[in-house]
């Protein structure tokens, strides 16, 4: 099952990290500020952890929502099903 992942990196290394991810088979790669988003299964994520020299860490987003203030942030976090 493919999941969305975020590989964090240092400023200026985004394109290098994207190339490393491409070389190990990651798909739907999008560079961002100090990060590279990609979609792939657990096998490629484990491979990325082992071979990507420019990735600082690889994150799995659990939820996404917009919060314009502290109250909306609290409400968004409260709605997440943490039992999964």
Write the pLDDT tens digit of every residue in 35-81.
999 999 999 999 999 999 999 999 999 899 999 999 999 999 999 98
Alpha helices in the chain (DSSP H): 14-23, 42-51, 70-78
d(Cα 7, Cα 35) in Å, to the nearest integer? 6
Residue 60: burial class (beta carbons within 10 Å; 0-12, 13-18, 19+)? exposed
Does the 3-78 domain belong in CATH 3.30.2130.30? yes
Reported as a single tens digit per residue, the pLDDT across 7-18 is: 999 999 999 999
Smallest CA-to-CA distance from 13 within 37, 39, 35, 46 is with: 35
d(Cα 5, Cα 61) in Å, to the nearest integer? 7
């Amino acid at each position: 099952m493919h999941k969305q992942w975020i590989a964090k990196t240092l400023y200026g290394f985004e394109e290098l990290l994207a190339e490393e991810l491409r070389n190990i088979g990651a798909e739907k790669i999008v560079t961002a500020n100090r990060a590279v988003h990609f979609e792939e299964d657990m096998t490629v994520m484990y491979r990325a952890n082992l071979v990507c020299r420019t990735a600082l860490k690889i994150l799995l987003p659990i939820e996404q929502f917009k919060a314009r203030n502290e109250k909306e942030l609290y409400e968004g976090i409260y709605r997440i099903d943490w039992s999964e």
